[in-house]
C-alpha cells in the first residue's frame, strides 16, 4: 500500500485502462495540456497524445453528444465535464445515453463514463456548489457512483470504464486532494457493493462522498461518549446495495442518513424509504436525515458551511435518534 490523493487515483485508473484497451479515450474541457481543472487527467496527454486525450470546445452538449456517438461506434469514452453543474449535457445523457439500450431492444450498449465534480468548495457560489446526485439516480438506465476514498475511486472508475453501461461518476470538489491507501497491484471495485467503513453496535450512519470522512470523525467523537457508530458507504447509488445497509440496521436498530445535498428530494430520502419498507420492525426510533439546507449555496464561506453537513451535525443527528428511542 502507498498513500496517494483521490485525484492521483483517478489518473492511475484512466492510465491503466487506456493501456489495457485502445478503445478507451478521454475527452473534455482542459483535460490535455493542463491536466484537468482538479488534476484528474494530469500527465495523460503527454503519455497518450491528443488523439486519445482530447481537449474540446466549451460546449457541454456537444461533448456529451460526441461521447454517446463514440460509444455507439464501439469506443469507450471517458468524459471529464469539468463541472457537473454545467447542465447542457443533460439531454444527451438522459435522453440518449440512458435510453438507447432499451429503445434498441438491447441490441446496442452505451459504454460512456461521465465523470466530474459536484459540491461546495469554499465560496464558489450558487451555480458552482451544487449537489444533485438524486437527479441522476432518478434516471433509469444510468449507473451512478460516488466514491469517498482514493481506493474506491480507482477501483470503481476501472469497473465503470470496463462496463457496458452509461455511468455518472461523481467526485466531490473537496475530496480531490484527500489521501488514502491504494495498492500497487491491479484491482477493481464492483458496482453494487457497499463498504462498512467503521464497525459499530449502537447506531448506523449511512453517508456518501465527502460526508463519509465527516461521519468517521463524528463516530470517533461519539466513541469517547460510549456510543459506537457503524459507518456504511454505499459507494454506488445505482445499483444500491441495500442489503448491506439492512444488515447494519438489524444490528444497531438506530439509523442516521447523512449527505451534503439539500434534504428535500435528496438521495437520503430513498435510503430512508427502503429501510422503512424493508426493516421497519428492526427500528427502535424513526430514521433521522442529516442533510444540506434547502437553499442555494451562499458565496460567503461561513454561510456556505452552515448550509452543508459537518461532523457536529452528524453527532447531533445521532444523539437525536438515540433520544427518540428512549
> What CATH number corresponds to the domain at position 281?
3.40.50.920
Q: Is residue 216 part of a domain?
A: yes
Predicted confidence (pLDDT) at residue 176 exceeds the cutoff of 90 = yes
Are 33 and 162 contained in the same domain?
yes
Are 228 and 320 contained in the same domain?
yes
Are 246 and 148 contained in the same domain?
no
Distances (CA, A) of 201 to 234, 249, 254, 280: 18, 9, 9, 18
Are 156 and 226 contained in the same domain?
no
Are 199 and 226 contained in the same domain?
yes
Are 159 and 201 contained in the same domain?
no
Predicted confidence (pLDDT) at residue 286 exceeds the cutoff of 90 = yes
Q: Residue 144 has what pLDDT?
A: 98
Domain end among 149, 182, 215: 182
Domain end among 182, 213, 239: 182
Q: Is residue 131 part of a domain?
A: yes
Q: Residue 278 has what pLDDT?
A: 98
Are 84 and 222 contained in the same domain?
no
Q: Residue 112 has what pLDDT?
A: 98
Mean pLDDT of 178-205: 97
Q: Is residue 189 part of a domain?
A: no
What is the tens place of the pLDDT at every residue in 226-276?
A: 999 999 999 999 999 999 999 999 999 999 999 999 999 999 999 999 999
Q: Is residue 86 part of a domain?
A: yes
What is the tens place of the pLDDT at every residue in 202-224?
A: 999 999 999 999 999 999 999 99
Are 135 and 241 contained in the same domain?
no
Quote the mean pLDDT of the chain.
96
Task: Report yes or no on whether pTM surpasses 0.85.
Answer: yes
Percent of the chain clearing pLDDT 90 (strictly above): 94
For the chain, the domain total comes to: 2
Q: Is residue 188 part of a domain?
A: no
Mean pLDDT of 1-22: 97
Q: Is residue 298 part of a domain?
A: yes
CATH number at residue 98: 3.40.50.970
Report which of 139, 140, 133, 157 is spatially closest to residue 207, judged by C-alpha positions.
Answer: 133
**DSSP label at 84?**
T
> Cα(93)–Cα(271) distance, rounded to whole angstroms?
24
Predicted confidence (pLDDT) at residue 200 exceeds the cutoff of 90 = yes
Are 173 and 34 contained in the same domain?
yes
Domain end among 157, 182, 207: 182
Predicted confidence (pLDDT) at residue 14 exceeds the cutoff of 90 = yes
What is the four-CA torsion angle of 289, 133, 211, 293, rounded to 10 degrees? -50
Mean pLDDT of 266-294: 97
Helix axes 6-20 and 150-162, enclosed angle (nearest 10): 30
Are 82 and 230 contained in the same domain?
no
Domain span including residue 139 = 2-182
What is the four-CA torsion angle of 155, 160, 163, 166, rounded to 10 degrees? 170
Residues noted as catalytic: 128
Spell out the long-range contacts of 269-276 with Cβ–Cβ below 8 A and sequence spacing 24 or more: 269/134, 270/134, 270/137, 270/240, 271/206, 271/234, 271/240, 271/242, 271/245, 274/240, 274/242, 274/245, 275/245, 275/246, 275/249
Mean pLDDT of 321-326: 90
Are 151 and 227 contained in the same domain?
no
What is the tens place of the pLDDT at every residue in 87-137?
A: 999 999 999 999 999 999 999 999 999 999 999 888 888 888 899 999 999
At residue 321 the predicted structure's pLDDT band, cuts being 50, 70 and 90, is: very high
3-state secondary structure of 249: helix
Are 250 and 217 contained in the same domain?
yes
Locate 162 and state its grid cell.
Answer: 470496463
> Cα(18)–Cα(104) distance, rounded to whole angstroms?
28
Q: Is residue 190 part of a domain?
A: no
Q: Residue 1 has what pLDDT?
A: 85
Predicted confidence (pLDDT) at residue 315 exceeds the cutoff of 90 = yes
3-state secondary structure of 199: coil
301: how many CB neighbours lie within 10 A of its CB?
12
Predicted confidence (pLDDT) at residue 325 exceeds the cutoff of 90 = no
Q: Is residue 164 part of a domain?
A: yes
Amino acid at each position: 500500500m502507498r498513500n496517494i490523493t483521490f485525484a492521483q487515483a483517478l489518473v492511475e485508473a484512466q492510465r491503466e485502462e487506456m493501456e489495457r484497451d485502445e478503445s478507451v479515450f478521454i475527452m473534455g474541457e482542459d483535460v490535455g495540456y493542463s491536466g484537468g481543472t482538479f488534476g484528474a487527467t494530469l500527465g495523460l496527454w503527454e503519455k497518450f497524445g491528443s488523439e486519445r486525450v482530447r481537449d474540446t470546445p466549451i460546449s457541454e452538449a456537444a461533448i456529451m453528444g460526441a461521447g454517446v456517438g463514440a460509444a455507439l461506434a464501439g469506443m469507450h469514452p471517458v468524459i471529464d465535464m469539468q463541472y457537473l453543474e454545467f447542465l447542457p449535457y443533460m439531454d444527451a445523457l438522459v435522453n440518449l445515453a440512458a435510453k438507447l439500450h432499451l429503445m434498441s431492444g438491447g441490441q446496442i450498449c452505451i459504454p460512456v463514463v461521465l465523470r466530474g465534480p459536484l459540491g461546495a468548495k469554499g465560496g464558489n457560489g450558487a451555480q458552482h456548489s451544487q449537489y444533485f446526485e438524486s437527479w441522476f439516480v432518478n434516471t433509469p438506465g444510468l449507473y451512478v457512483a460516488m466514491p469517498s476514498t482514493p481506493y474506491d475511486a480507482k477501483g470503481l472508475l476501472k469497473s465503470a470504464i470496463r462496463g457496458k453501461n452509461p455511468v455518472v461518476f461523481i467526485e466531490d470538489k473537496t475530496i480531490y486532494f484527500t489521501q488514502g491507501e491504494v495498492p500497487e497491484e491491479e484491482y477493481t471495485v464492483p458496482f453494487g457493493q457497499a463498504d462498512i467503513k467503521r464497525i459499530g453496535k449502537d447506531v448506523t450512519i449511512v453517508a456518501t462522498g465527502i460526508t463519509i470522512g465527516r461521519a468517521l470523525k463524528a463516530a470517533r467523537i461519539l466513541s469517547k461518549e460510549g456510543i459506537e457508530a457503524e459507518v456504511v458507504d454505499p459507494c454506488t447509488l445505482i445499483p444500491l446495495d441495500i442489503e448491506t445497509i439492512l444488515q447494519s440496521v438489524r444490528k444497531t436498530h438506530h439509523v442516521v442518513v447523512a449527505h451534503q445535498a439539500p434534504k428535500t428530494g435528496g438521495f437520503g430520502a430513498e435510503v430512508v424509504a427502503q429501510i422503512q419498507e424493508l426493516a421497519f420492525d428492526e427500528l427502535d426510533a424513526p430514521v433521522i436525515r442529516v442533510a444540506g439546507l434547502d437553499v442555494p449555496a451562499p458565496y460567503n464561506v461561513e454561510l456556505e458551511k452552515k448550509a452543508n453537513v459537518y461532523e457536529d451535525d452528524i453527532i447531533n443527528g445521532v444523539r437525536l435518534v438515540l433520544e427518540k428511542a428512549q
